[in-house]
Structure 1
Amino acid sequence: MKKIRLLLCVALIATTSQVFGQGQIIDFLKAGQADANTLSQAYLLPYGEMLGVNLNSGWYNTAKVHKIGGFDITFSTSYTTAPNSKKSFDPSSLDLKAVAPENTGMAPTMAGSKSSSMGFYMKDDPSKTNIIDMKGAGADYFVSPMIQAAVGLPFHTEIMGRFMPTMGYGDYGEASLWGIGLKHSIKDYIPFVKRVPFLQASVLAAYTDFGAKLGVSNTGSLEGIGTGTGNLETSAGAFTSRLLVGINVPVVSFYTGLGYGTTTSNFDIIGDFTGYEDTNNPIALDYKTSGFDFNAGMRLRFAIFSLHADYTVGEYSVITAGVGINFR
């Protein structure tokens, strides 16, 4: 179990490092703290939204509710991709105080191609020399492995939980996660569904909380920014409510879910970075998303073992696949 939790930690830290390892956000501090936050907010938008969407995934692989005392333990991985509309942004729409884009084109977000870039220069510089080269990071996906368990309760209800205590991975960082959910069968409330043994219907509500800390630093290699060290501290919360409908027959079952989710995510760089201007705890960003999505999937069950996979259709697409042990 400890190895699985370490795998979760490594995967989440690795995805974050993909964005921040190149020092791009620290580089934005050349524009001053106000513009650095404005640029970072636009640049990291796909990451903030993909994180929240991903945390709302993987909660179920059937519409059926466990009987009293029944349980399952499931390990799954969710792969979220950013749409093309989130791979660039219009810098002219930003309220930039000190810097301006080098042209009227679109600038890449962190999900943009590594070959795309946009320069920014100080507005009071008559030579219009670029001090920032905003580059795409090619980070147009987010992957999170997850382990969770569910137990059947009275009144056709089951409780679900996911948990990863604070786990560190060397000097790279640490991450933690927990979540809780409830699923309740509504089959008996629907006359047609009640009379068909293989049809299932239920409702689900679940919440996931995530936190991570990743070290960031500048050794002086970024011109215009003095040396400094600190941490990127990430926190996110995701809530989903869903209507589930499924068909359960021997060996194979199919399930669909229509739901509404809300997510919040916050990114703060905590530390001291001096140079162009004194910056203490210089970056503080927050993102909020909400909306409907729909998924459909299939599960294969062999005795107590199962395999499942599903696809979620929404602004951000999600593919989830996993294995599990199921009883009753």
Structure 2
Amino acid sequence: MKSKKLLFIIFILLSFMSSYSQNGIENLLSSGLDDANRFANAYTKPGSDAVIYGLANGWYNTAKVKGLGSFEISVIGGVSQINEDKTSFELNQDDYNSLQFESGSNSQQVGTVFGQNSPDVSMNISEGGQTIGSITLPQGLGSENIEYLPNIMLQGSVGLLFGTELKLRFLPEVEAKDVTSQFYGAGLQHEFTSWIPGIKVLPIAISGFIGYNKFEGEYRFSEQSTLVSGSNQSIRTDIDSWHYALIASTKLPVINFYGSIGTVSGSADTRLKGEYTVNTGVSQIQGATLVDPLNINYSVNGFRATLGTKLSLAFFKLNIDYSFQEFNSLNVGVNFGI
């Protein structure tokens, strides 16, 4: 199971989808839809936010756009830092209708998709003052000692007319027994210094950029619990990410420096798909079969600044940069082109 999780996060970015297991989020349905939605929102939000910011990484390594017909192929990889405050949240049982800590606590910190519960956190499902079942809260990636969110992608760039450059990127489709994913994106960069008199003779370039990414991923449950059974069960996530930036860089022969300021915005739609029959749960849904019971939506708007350097050797270029944002990231690009 561990190797499957690691493969999943490396190749499709959406690490939080792989952290569900037999004692996963679907078991929370036995406490009712309100409780399940409340917990799912708090548990998954850091993962969705991290992916939206991560998709904005690596778009550019200079403000100077390519000439007409010039092209570049890039392999871009990096890691996003997961801050401590993203690994847990405070769960107060007073905010829930049917969940109570088995330990007797009224509230405590529990792991998000990036955290862990050590030891396991068990909660009773209660109704009318009687305990009718119990669940173990799902672990996050902290239980696998994963502290960074990796990403890798392939990108192509080509120079167009009027000081503009088109960028296309994708991650090869991944299909396995439990995983399906797809990722693609497109961006446009326009160099202002190509048409501002006097500036284009200086050893600097200034340009604007807009880029869009789309990610679709699905993780299918291969195991079922005694609390909740059913068929065709999976978690599906669709993510849209936009990045707008103003870029500046030097125009020197071998070593150059670049930086940008801009914004990241996007949305994530996560759905629990399939049929879920609640075998043990509150009377409201006891014995009921729920179809596509959870739908969680998030949106992100944040600031981003990047500093980097690039080494150019004939048709081979190597760049590295660091981005300051809600999930700080370090990225490296290997670029080939003319």
What is the TM-score normalised by the length of structure 2? 0.84
Distance 2:93 2:320 in 1: 40
What displacement does 1:185 show?
0.6
Distance 2:190 2:52 in 1: 24
SS at match of 2:59: coil
What displacement does 1:265 show?
0.9
1:36 corresponding residue in structure 2: 36
SS at match of 1:57: coil
1:48 corresponding residue in structure 2: 48
Distance 1:217 1:288 in 2: 30
Question: Cα gap change, 1:291/1:86 in structure 2, threshold over 3 Å: closer, same or farther?
Answer: same
Question: Cα gap change, 1:151/1:224 in structure 2, threshold over 3 Å: closer, same or farther?
Answer: same
Distance 1:94 1:64 in 2: 56
- Note the alpha carbon deviations across 1:88-116, whole angstroms, 9 max, x for none: 11222984232244432222211113526
1:314 corresponding residue in structure 2: 325
Out of 170-179 and 252-261, give the one that drifted further: 170-179
2:292 paired with 1:281: yes
- Note the alpha carbon deviations across 1:113-147, whole angstroms, 9 max, x for none: 35265433334364668723225421553222111
2:246 corresponding residue in structure 1: 243
User: Is contact 1:12–1:143 with CA below 8 Å preserved after alignment?
Assistant: no
Aligned residue type for 1:47: G
Question: Cα gap change, 1:94/1:202 in structure 2, threshold over 3 Å: closer, same or farther?
Answer: farther
SS at match of 2:25: helix
Distance 2:44 2:119 in 1: 15
Out of 291, 299, 304, which is 1:293 matched to? 304
Aligned residue type for 2:331: T
Question: Cα gap change, 1:54/1:176 in structure 2, threshold over 3 Å: closer, same or farther?
Answer: same
Question: Cα gap change, 1:214/1:113 in structure 2, threshold over 3 Å: closer, same or farther?
Answer: closer
How many matched pairs?
317
2:76 paired with 1:76: yes
Question: Cα gap change, 1:236/1:205 in structure 2, threshold over 3 Å: closer, same or farther?
Answer: same
Question: Cα gap change, 1:28/1:194 in structure 2, threshold over 3 Å: closer, same or farther?
Answer: same
Distance 1:59 1:285 in 2: 28
2:265 paired with 1:258: no
2:163 corresponding residue in structure 1: 156
User: Is contact 1:45–1:86 with CA below 8 Å preserved after alignment?
Assistant: no
Out of 246-255 and 122-131, give the one that drifted further: 122-131
What displacement does 1:23 show?
4.6
SS at match of 2:26: helix
Question: Cα gap change, 1:271/1:212 in structure 2, threshold over 3 Å: closer, same or farther?
Answer: same
What displacement does 1:54 show?
1.0
User: Is contact 1:233–1:270 with CA below 8 Å preserved after alignment?
Assistant: yes
Question: Cα gap change, 1:74/1:22 in structure 2, threshold over 3 Å: closer, same or farther?
Answer: farther
What's the C-alpha RMSD, in Å, of the aligned pairs?
Answer: 2.6
Question: Cα gap change, 1:79/1:199 in structure 2, threshold over 3 Å: closer, same or farther?
Answer: same
What is the TM-score normalised by the length of structure 1? 0.87
Distance 2:83 2:207 in 1: 30
Question: Cα gap change, 1:291/1:30 in structure 2, threshold over 3 Å: closer, same or farther?
Answer: same
Aligned residue type for 1:255: Y
Out of 83-92 and 286-295, give the one that drifted further: 83-92
Out of 68-77 and 129-138, give the one that drifted further: 129-138
SS at match of 1:259: strand
